[in-house]
Structures are given as structure tokens and as C-alpha cells.
Amino acid sequence: MDKNYYITTPIYYPSAKPHMGHAYSSIVADFFARFKRMDGYDVHFLTGTDEHGLKIQRAAETMNIEPLKFCDQISQTFRDLSQTLNLSNTDFIRTTEDRHKKTVQHLWLELEKNDDIYMSQYSGWYSVSDEAFYSEDEITEKNGLKISISSGSPVEWIEEESYFFRLSKWQNKLLDYYQKYPDFISPQSRMNEVVSFVKNGLKDLSISRKAFSWGIKVPNNSEHVIYVWLDALTNYISALNYPNTKDNLFKKFWPASVHLIGKDILRFHAIYWPAFLMAAKIPLPKKVYGHGWILSGEEKMSKSKGNILDPLDIINTYGLDPLRYYLIKEVSFGNDGSISKDRLEDCINSDLANNYGNLCQRVTAFAEKNCYSKIPNKNKFNEDDFKVLNRFKENLNNIRQEIDKQNINYYIDFIVNSLFEANKYFNDQEPWKKKNDKDRLNTIVYTSLEMIRKISFMLYPIIPDTIEKALKIFNLNSDDINFESIASHDFLKSGNGLKKIDILFKKVEKRND
């Protein structure tokens, strides 16, 4: 079986500093990357910044600095955010890098060679903010301004000479592909949206601009720069050293396992990108997953609305792992979600401090007093022990399958239920009343420690820093984490020492604002 896995975040547009939406995409991608590594996969995890286009040029002009210098500064904030979020990405790509420019220009020449590019005049509505072209029926008027119906961004009328990509030529081939691979776009609501859009008819796409200069030049015509989306989307293969298809990275990791994106850029990834790849005779990615937005109140975050939530503020107040846990648990993956400090504090106090942290403390403290701070000998598991332990063994393949469907909700529900079961088991078995039956006491403690170990392994992709601390109980580290091993009930070796650890999560005092 192919055990290679390639996951990508959208590459972020560095026209402003990172917000919670960027953090969300990155944390979720990191969760999948860490899970797959834990399950024995060779993982390539890509993130980066998309640095060309009119929006960047104008932002740099406003600050009176060169576009590249502007990008250097802002791109670094995204690179720093990757470290702050404890991402395990294996590459960070910038579209201003030479490796990327070469790939984009090669792709252009391939499309040209296959007669998928022609020169004409473009006239129509363009949104600088969205870097997108809109048809007449996709715009409306508000306060005397023409805006995009879908994004609310202002649009402006442009007329200029442009190269076009024959998008209309690929309409039926795209529809056939969606039908043949019904999981290509997820969740299902996004697939329905894309199919409906394509069935309404695709017009050829303007893929160059003359009105500004900040971008990758069109090969053999330096008056034009390549449309930012044809440039940006190509990062997924430029990071694998395409067009060198014999390169080890490309051979191992293309087609990508999943492009993880926000739903607002679905059209570019689910229509334009597959059409470009089909035209260039390059295999398509296996999946495009369009997740929902992180809302500020009831609204999408945007610079213009001034409602941007800074992930660094939340991390400074509550810590990184609580934020990672909250975003994965409380935002139903695929749907919109919002940050509620109240719910975040509940997650810390209830799930993390009480259900997980307190379980670790209670069981290890009991083992210290009654088992000489060692992993005890398990005598014989009884029905109660097997009931809680076998839940993991029996669900191993279910969990894998649900992860491959990007069903994070299933995964986190399994962990939350397991924590409830582990706490209930320890309480119900009452080992403190079994001091005259040392075999039974030892087996209850062993079973409880095994439950902590299994749950900790499963929590690792979500809260890696904390789990590294928790595993010190067993003298284990992240290299010892293996998903398959949660099926085993004798992973922990009797007689090995147990270590005391500090409190993993401090409770947050709830304020009555």
C-alpha cells in the first residue's frame, strides 16, 4: 500500500498580518499531517505565501517600499506563525522564489503548446481584493459602489489586451471527472455548488494583466504578467520540483492527497486548477476540501470590517494547545464556526483540565502510593477491563477511514467519549477499596494507565506540546507514538518506572462580565 501523504494549506496572501482563519487552516492541516505520520506515512506538508498581484503592488506603494521588500516582511510573519502554531510542515513556499517562477512559466508554455491559450481583449469586472473576475450577474450595487455578491468586495471595470485560457473547452471533461470521482470535492455541499456553477456554463478565463507589473512575466511577452491565480495554484507542484517528474518529491507525493482550503477560494481550486492540470496533462489532486470560515461574531473576518481576531492574542492569554484543541473540537469541520472565549474556557476547564489532566494526575498519584511508582503487573483482564480497552482495538480501522474522509468530528468525539469512559472506569472500579486484592488493584491501575496512554497517543496530533509532557509519565516521547499500537493492551511494560508530572492544564477562572 502507498504510504505517502501530501497535504497543503492554501498559500496565504501577505497583504496584511495573519488572522484566525489562517491559523485554523494551518492547525487542521497539521492535525492531518501528524495523524498520518503517527500511522506510519511519509508525510509532505506544504504551506507558504502567495506574493504577486495588484493588491500586493498597491499595498507596497501605500507604504512606499518595493513589493519584494514588502513581501519579505509580511511573509516572515506567516513563517513565524507556523512556528508559533507548532506546525510540522516540511516546506514553506514563496511564489517569489525562482523554483516557483520556473514551474509557472513552464506550465504556461505547456498550456500554450496544447493550444489552450490565446490572445484577445478583456473587458469586465475585476476585484483587486479577491484577485478575481466576475460576470455581470455576480455583482450588485451598494452605496453607489459595484461589489461582488459572493464576497462583498468592490469591483472595477477593466478593459485591456489579455491572454485567455480556454476554460470553456474543459467544461464537460470537468463534469465527467466530478461524476467519476464523487469525493474529489468535499464536503458534499461544496461539490454540489461547483457542479451547479460549471453546468451553468464556463467562459474562457483571462490569465494575464498588462495594467501592473508585479508578477511573473508571461514567457516571450514581458508586457504581460501571469494572472495571480494561475501563478498561485501552481505552488502545489512547484514545491515538488515540477516539471522534473522524475524528481523524488514529485514521484512520491503527486497527486496531492488533499488540498485544504477555505470555501471562499473553492472555485479556483475545484474548477480552474483541475482544468489547468488537465490541459497540461498532469494528474489531478485526489481531493479538494473546502472548510468553513472562522467568524467574528456572525461575520466573516476581514481587514475592511476591522473584526480580525488575532490568534497570537488568544495564545498569549490561554496557550497554544488549548486554542488548537478548541478549533478542532468546537468548529464542526466543513461548517462555519466562531471563537467564543466562554466556550474556549469551558474546553480548558472541562475537557483538558478535568477529564484529561486530572485523570493523569489521579491515576499516577494512586500508582505512586500503591504500586511503588511503577507500572504494575496486570494479572488477568476481566470483562470490565476489556470493555474499555477493546473500544480502541475495534475502532482502529473506523478511525482511519473517517480521517481519510476528513471527518475530524468523529475523531474528537471518540477521544471525548474515551476520556469519559476512562474516568468512569477508574471511579467505578474503586481501586482504593481493593487494597486486600493486590492482583485486582494492579490490573485496574494497569488498565487505567493503558487508557491514558492510548488517549494520549490519539490526542498527540491535536495538542502535541502537552502530550510530550504527559508521555513523560511513562518515560516515552513523540518517537514512541504509533497509532497501530493503541490496539495493543500490553504496550506498557510492567516494572518500568512512572514519573510525576506537573499539572498539564491550569483551570481558567471564569469571569462574570
Among candidate residues 230, 226, 224, the one with its CA nearest the CA of residue 276: 230
383 within a domain of the structure (yes/no): yes
Find out whether 147 and 154 touch, Cβ atoms under 8 Å.
yes
Q: Indicate whether 307 pLDDT > 50.
A: no
Provide the pLDDT confidence category of residue 302 given band limits of 50, 70 and 90: low
- Give mean pLDDT, residues 62-72: 93
Residues 6+ apart with CB under 8 A from 318: 344, 345, 348, 508
481 within a domain of the structure (yes/no): yes
Q: Indicate whether 303 pLDDT > 60.
A: no
Which residue range forms the structural domain that includes residue 420? 341-487
Range of lowest pLDDT (15-24, 188-197, 259-268)? 15-24
Instruction: Return the higher-pLDDT residue of 128 and 426.
Output: 426
Residues 6+ apart with CB under 8 A from 256: 6, 7, 8, 236, 285, 286
Q: In what order do the strands lie in the sheet with 208-209?
A: 208-209, 221-226, 217-218
Q: Indicate whether 308 pLDDT > 80.
A: no
499 within a domain of the structure (yes/no): no
> CB-side exposure of 329: number of CA atoms within 13 Å?
25
412 within a domain of the structure (yes/no): yes
Find out whether 492 and 446 touch, Cβ atoms under 8 Å.
yes
C-alpha dist (Å) from residue 240 to 236, 243, 443? 7, 9, 51
Q: CA geometry: angle at 274 spanning 269 and 276, to 5°?
A: 105
pTM: 0.93
Find out whether 255 and 284 touch, Cβ atoms under 8 Å.
yes
Residues 6+ apart with CB under 8 A from 376: 367, 441, 442, 443, 445, 446, 494
pLDDT at 300: 56
pLDDT at 173: 98
Query: Three cell numbers at 495?
Result: 516494572
174 within a domain of the structure (yes/no): no
Find out whether 3 and 41 touch, Cβ atoms under 8 Å.
yes
- Give mean pLDDT, residues 152-173: 94
Q: Indicate whether 352 pLDDT > 90.
A: yes
Q: What is the mean pLDDT of the chain?
A: 92
444 within a domain of the structure (yes/no): yes
Phi, psi angle pair for 315, to nearest 5°: -65, -40
Please give the Cα distance from 290 to 189 (Å, whole number). 10
Q: Indicate whether 18 pLDDT > 90.
A: no
Instruction: Return the higher-pLDDT residue of 501 and 167.
Output: 167
Range of lowest pLDDT (189-198, 329-338, 373-382, 386-395)? 329-338
Instruction: Return the higher-pLDDT residue of 335 and 212.
Output: 212
Instruction: Return the higher-pLDDT residue of 132 and 291.
Output: 291
Q: Annotate 204-264 with DSSP letters as a single string.
A: -EE-EESS---SPEETTEEEEEE-HHHHHHTHHHHTTTTT-TTSHHHHHHPSPSEEEEEGG
215 within a domain of the structure (yes/no): no
Instruction: Return the higher-pLDDT residue of 483 and 312.
Output: 483
Range of lowest pLDDT (28-37, 96-105, 339-348)? 339-348
Cis peptide leading into residue 285 (ω within 30°): no
Instruction: Return the higher-pLDDT residue of 243 and 13.
Output: 243
140 within a domain of the structure (yes/no): no
- Give mean pLDDT, residues 473-502: 95
pLDDT at 313: 86
Instruction: Return the higher-pLDDT residue of 226 and 16.
Output: 226
Q: Indicate whether 168 pLDDT > 60.
A: yes
- CATH code (residue 409): 1.10.730.10
Q: What is the pLDDT of residues 86-134, one digit of tens each?
A: 999 999 999 999 999 999 999 999 999 999 999 999 888 888 888 777 8
Q: What is the pLDDT of residues 434-451, one digit of tens each?
A: 999 999 999 999 999 999
Phi, psi angle pair for 18, to nearest 5°: -60, 150
Please give the Cα distance from 35 to 402 (Å, whole number). 12
- Give mean pLDDT, residues 186-209: 96
Q: Indicate whether 363 pLDDT > 90.
A: yes
Our count of domains for the chain comes to 1
C-alpha dist (Å) from residue 477 to 440, 465, 485? 29, 11, 14
Q: Indicate whether 290 pLDDT > 50.
A: yes
Distance of alpha carbon 437 from the chain centroid:
49
Q: Indicate whether 304 pLDDT > 80.
A: no
